[in-house]
Amino acid sequence: MTQSPTETNTIRITLEKATVKISTTSGFKGTGFFITPDGYILTAWHCISESIVLSTTITVETAEGKIFETVQIDQEKSLQNQDIAVLKIEHSTTCVPLGLITESHKGQDVIAIGYPAAYIEGRGIGIYNGIINQLLTNIEAFETTAIEGQGQSGGLIYHIATQRLIGLATDIYNNEVTKTTGLAVRFNTLFEHWPEIRPLSERLTHLIQEVSDKRNEIHPIWKKVTAYLKQLKKLGITEKDEDIPLDITDFIADNITPQEFIDSWQQENQ
């Protein structure tokens, strides 16, 4: 996708405004980003885990310099095993919707925003371009060249083609061969765990797929049942077969709703 300089600049400003700096009582810890207009933030769990163990205070600083010291860790929504922490502050803000990627997006351009050099006093927010290297199969993550340093942990990864935030920076490879490549966790499990966070368009797509899958699942069921009932009607039911309709009823009740069966029957007999 080719973007004009104006579009690129607008995206950059929006992503910067959505990005925050995460600190605790012991100092700077990493990056985070707003995911809802009412102040929900995602960051890496390892960036804030000390605040749970040591009861230290978490501080959130926005790109405009506003500092929030009343920060709630929503442990119910967080996914510690995925290195995803959900924070909440009382603040109306800019955010960008989350999204998912597949193998078809491999090699496409992404933008990362974060504070990889914030451990050095005076260094501010950074903007980094890269690509999606590959989706990992052993963990729900992907490799990207847009992760530059440690302080970028918890920062956003923006996918230019879909205009969605598709990942959260969690790690950077520390070797000479892949020193500019890092890991970002994807949001598949987060969407399952917290479905309300899925954008409306994503939820609609998911619902359509569920309906399609259900229709494909029940199609062979009602087709066989319809054929069998027609055969019973033609041949008649003896005392030996009198329990068959009840068995069919129980079978249908366990697999499809009455309305689904009625709709399917009507389609078959049109």
Q: What is the pLDDT of residue 4?
A: 72
Residue 19 has pLDDT above 90, yes or no: yes
**Lowest model confidence (mean pLDDT) among 11-15, 49-53, 196-200:** 196-200
d(C-alpha 181, C-alpha 148), whole Å: 7
Residue 1 has pLDDT above 70, yes or no: no
pTM (predicted TM-score): 0.73
Could you say which of 3.40.190.10, 2.40.10.10, 3.40.50.12280, 3.40.50.1860 is the CATH number of the domain covering 103-200? 2.40.10.10
Mean pLDDT of the chain: 82
What residue spans in the chain does CATH classification 2.40.10.10 cover? 5-88, 103-200
At which residue do the structure tokens 């899925």 appear?
A: 198
pLDDT in tens, 103-124: 999 999 999 999 876 555 556 7
Q: What is the mean pLDDT of residues 23-28?
A: 91
Share of the chain above pLDDT 70, in %: 70
Residue 177 has pLDDT above 60, yes or no: no
Residue 248 has pLDDT above 90, yes or no: no
- The CATH code of the domain at 5-88 is 2.40.10.10
**Lowest model confidence (mean pLDDT) among 24-33, 204-213, 224-233:** 204-213
pLDDT band, residue 266 (cuts 50/70/90): low
Could you tell me what percentage of the chain is helix, strand and coil, using 3-state DSSP and rounding each to the nearest 5? 40, 25, 35
pLDDT band, residue 268 (cuts 50/70/90): low
Most confident range, picked from 145-149, 193-197, 202-206, 215-219: 193-197
Please give the angle made by the CA atoms of 51, 52 and 54, to the nearest 5 degrees. 65
Q: What is the mean pLDDT of residues 189-198?
A: 91
d(C-alpha 47, C-alpha 35), whole Å: 17
Alpha-helical regions (H) of the chain: 5-18, 45-53, 188-193, 200-235, 244-255, 258-268
Query: In the 3-class helix/strand/coil scheme, how is 171-189 assigned residue by residue?
Result: EECCCCCCCCCEEEECCHH
